[in-house]
Structure 1
Amino acid sequence: MDVAVIGAGIAGIGMGAQLTRAGRDDFLIFERADDVGGTWRDNSYPGVACDIPSRLYSYSFRPPRRWSRRFAPGAEILDYLRETAHAEGLEPHLRLGEPLTSARWDDENGCWRLATPRGAYSARALIMAAGRLSEPKTPAVPGLDTFPGRAFHSARWDHASLAGLRVGVVGTGASAVQLAPEVAAAAASVTVFQRTPAWVLPRGDRAFAPGEPQPDRAELSAEAERLFDARITGSTELAALRDRALAHLDSQVADPALRAALTPDYELGCKRAVFSDDYFAALQQSNVTLEPSALSSVEGATAVAASGARYDLDVLVFATGFETTRPPFARLVTGRDGESLAAHWSDGMTSHASTVVHGFPNLFVLDGPNAALGHHSAFEVIEAQLDYVLGALDHLDATDAPLEVTAEAESAYSAEIDRLAAGTVWVQGGCSSWYRDESSGHLTLLWPAPVAEFRERYGVFDPAPFSRAAPAAAQA
Structure 2
Amino acid sequence: MTARSGPGPERTTAVIIGAGFGGVAMGIELRRAGVHDFVILERAPDLGGVWRDNTYPGAGCDVPSPLYSFSFERHQRWPRRYAQQRDIHAYLDRVARKHGVVDHVRFQREVVAATFDESTARWRVRTATGEELSAAVLIPAVGQLSRPAYPAIPGIDSFRGAAFHSARWDHDVDLTGRRVAVIGTGASAIQFVPEIQPRVGRLTVFQRSAPYILPKRDHDYASWPHRAFQVLPPLQALDRLGFWLYAEFAQQCLAKWQGFVPLFRWQTTRHLRAAVPDPALRARLTPDYEIGCKRVLFSNDYLPALTRAGVELVTEPITEIAPTGVRTAGGTEHPADVIIYGTGFATLDLLGPVEITGLGGRRLSAAWHAGARAHLGITVPGFPNMFLMYGPNTNLGGGSIIHVLESQARYIRQAVRRLVAHPGHYLDVRTEVERRWDDEVQRRLARSVWTRCRSWYRNEHGRVVANWPGRTGEYRRRTRRFDVTDYRIGAASGSTSDVDVVPERSPKLDAV
One-letter amino acid of the structure 1 residue matched with residue 123 of structure 2 = W
How far 1:233 moved relative to its partner?
A: 6.6
Match of 1:99 in 2: 110
- Residues 45-78 of structure 1: CA deviation (Å, up to 9, x unaligned): 0010001111111111122232111110011101
Asked if residue 306 in structure 1 is aligned to residue 329 in structure 2, the reply is yes
1:270 & 1:330 partners in 2: Cα distance?
A: 28
Asked if residue 418 in structure 1 is aligned to residue 431 in structure 2, the reply is no
User: Which of 485, 505, 511 is 1:464 aligned to?
Assistant: 485
2:270 & 2:52 partners in 1: Cα distance?
A: 35
Contact 2:33 2:417 in 1 (8 A): no
Match of 1:449 in 2: 470
User: Which of 94, 99, 105 is 1:88 aligned to?
Assistant: 99
Asked if residue 3 in structure 1 is aligned to residue 14 in structure 2, the reply is yes
How far 1:399 moved relative to its partner?
A: 4.2
SS in 2 for 1:130: coil
SS in 2 for 1:41: helix
Contact 1:417 1:443 in 2 (8 A): no
One-letter amino acid of the structure 1 residue matched with residue 115 of structure 2 = R
- Where do 4+ consecutive residues of structure 1 move more than 6 Å? 473-476
How far 1:475 moved relative to its partner?
A: 7.6
Q: Give me the TM-score of the superposition, normalised by structure 1.
A: 0.96
One-letter amino acid of the structure 1 residue matched with residue 473 of structure 2 = A
One-letter amino acid of the structure 2 residue matched with residue 174 of structure 1 = A
How far 1:40 moved relative to its partner?
A: 0.5
Asked if residue 142 in structure 1 is aligned to residue 142 in structure 2, the reply is no
How far 1:459 moved relative to its partner?
A: 3.0
Match of 1:61 in 2: 72
- Aligned-residue sequence identity (percent) comes to 41
One-letter amino acid of the structure 2 residue matched with residue 405 of structure 1 = V
One-letter amino acid of the structure 2 residue matched with residue 454 of structure 1 = Y
One-letter amino acid of the structure 1 residue matched with residue 243 of structure 2 = L
SS in 2 for 1:5: strand
- Residues 130-177 of structure 1: CA deviation (Å, up to 9, x unaligned): 111111000122122221100111000011221010000000110011
Alignment of 1:193-232 (within 5 A): 193-213=206-226, 216-232=239-255
Contact 2:118 2:494 in 1 (8 A): no
Contact 1:54 1:70 in 2 (8 A): yes
- Residues 377-423 of structure 1: CA deviation (Å, up to 9, x unaligned): 01111110001101111222344420000111111111011121122
Asked if residue 385 in structure 1 is aligned to residue 408 in structure 2, the reply is yes
Q: Unaligned 5+ residue runs, structure 2?
A: 1-11, 230-235, 498-512
Greater displacement, 58-67 / 241-250: 58-67
How far 1:474 moved relative to its partner?
A: 6.4
**For residues 398 and 473 of structure 1, do their structure 2 counterparts lie closer, same or farther at Cα, with a shift above 3 Å needed?**
farther
SS in 2 for 1:121: strand
**For residues 276 and 307 of structure 1, do their structure 2 counterparts lie closer, same or farther at Cα, with a shift above 3 Å needed?**
farther
Alignment of 1:59-458 (within 5 A): 59-116=70-127, 117-159=129-171, 160-213=173-226, 216-232=239-255, 235-329=258-352, 331-400=354-423, 401-427=425-451, 429=452, 431-438=453-460, 440-458=461-479
Contact 2:197 2:305 in 1 (8 A): yes
1:209 & 1:280 partners in 2: Cα distance?
A: 27
2:135 & 2:184 partners in 1: Cα distance?
A: 41
SS in 1 for 2:203: strand
One-letter amino acid of the structure 1 residue matched with residue 121 of structure 2 = G
Greater displacement, 8-17 / 223-232: 223-232
Q: Unaligned 5+ residue runs, structure 1?
A: none
SS in 1 for 2:224: coil
2:493 & 2:316 partners in 1: Cα distance?
A: 58
How far 1:18 moved relative to its partner?
A: 1.3
Alignment of 1:10-21 (within 5 A): 10-21=21-32
**For residues 317 and 464 of structure 1, do their structure 2 counterparts lie closer, same or farther at Cα, with a shift above 3 Å needed?**
same
Contact 1:135 1:328 in 2 (8 A): no
SS in 1 for 2:25: helix
SS in 1 for 2:474: helix
- Residues 429-463 of structure 1: CA deviation (Å, up to 9, x unaligned): 3x10111122x211111111111111111232111
1:402 & 1:409 partners in 2: Cα distance?
A: 17
Greater displacement, 249-258 / 293-302: 293-302
One-letter amino acid of the structure 2 residue matched with residue 433 of structure 1 = S
SS in 1 for 2:91: helix
1:307 & 1:425 partners in 2: Cα distance?
A: 33
Cα RMSD, aligned residues only: 1.6
